[in-house]
A and B are shown apart, each in its own frame.
Chain A
């Protein structure tokens, strides 16, 4: 299984709602990532998890809260978002070989298209 799955595919939420994005992979990857992508722009890294621990937070506002319950799952909890947070949210995973000095390719999911009203 070489797939990263994301749910939901589309999400529309109000600024007072609480919602969660889910990501799952079964490739045995121990690094997982959240990216945000605005239209006609490259993906922007938000968070990196390595062995279920948060290793990078790119100064993301606290209204985005990541969670890694186990090695296969990654969640992104959303609360009190702003309309400018509307974007495509991409999850990715990769083998974690940092100790070997290897940076492996990241495999991306199809993304969740989020609209904040």
Chain B
């Protein structure tokens, strides 16, 4: 069963528009971590944010903001005033079962959302 769902396959916006990427996760654990990664065309995954299950505060970092809602099992990501350099695939990922030897370090990625920003 898919643990992380990114329902949006591709989002196209014009520069300066805001874009929100949805991420819905599924877990039975009370302790888990959520991550967002960016993968530009060069291929390298760039870490953006980590959030643990006990910290529901929303976070803002420059033009990026994240909305974590445990009640809906969602961890959405918004890019404000998008720029061409934001064009990339964005992955949401879940890590759970930290106490289990055979699960530690396992990142479960969503399918990814391709963001295309045109000038």
- Residues of A near B98 (CB, < 8 A) are 98, 101-103
Q: Which residues of A contact B47 (CB under 8 A)?
A: 105-108
Interface residues on A, range: 20 to 34
Mark the stretch among A15-23, A42-50, A61-69 that contacts chain B.
A42-50
Which B positions have Cβ atoms within 8 angstroms of A?
Answer: 31, 33, 35, 37, 42-47, 50, 91, 95, 98-99, 101-102, 104-107, 109-112
Interface string of A65-91 (1 = CB under 8 A from B): 000000000000000000000001010
Told that A103-B95, A107-B47 touch, could you supply 10 new A-B pairs with CB distance under 8 A?
Answer: A43-B91, A55-B101, A56-B104, A88-B43, A90-B43, A103-B104, A103-B105, A106-B105, A108-B44, A111-B44
Closest to A112 in B: B43
For the complex, give the distance between the alpha carbons of A3 and B99 in Å: 28
Nearest chain A CB to B59 CB, angstrom units: 14
* Chain B residues positioned under 8 Å from A43 (CB to CB): 45, 91, 107, 109
Q: What does the 1/0 interface line of A15-36 toward B look like (CB < 8 Å)?
A: 0000000000000000101000
**Contact across chains for B107 and A106 when beta carbons are under 8 A apart:** yes
- Asked if A42 and B91 sit within 8 Å, CB to CB, the answer is yes
Which of B35, B105, B110 has a CB less than 8 Å from the CB of A56?
Answer: B105
**In the complex, A92→B95 CA distance in Å?**
15
B105 pairs with A111, CB closer than 8 A: no
28 contacts between A and B (CB under 8 A): A42-B111, A45-B107, A48-B104, A48-B105, A50-B104, A55-B102, A55-B105, A56-B102, A56-B105, A90-B45, A92-B45, A98-B98, A98-B104, A98-B105, A101-B31, A102-B98, A103-B33, A103-B104, A104-B50, A105-B35, A105-B50, A106-B47, A106-B107, A108-B44, A108-B46, A108-B47, A110-B42, A110-B44
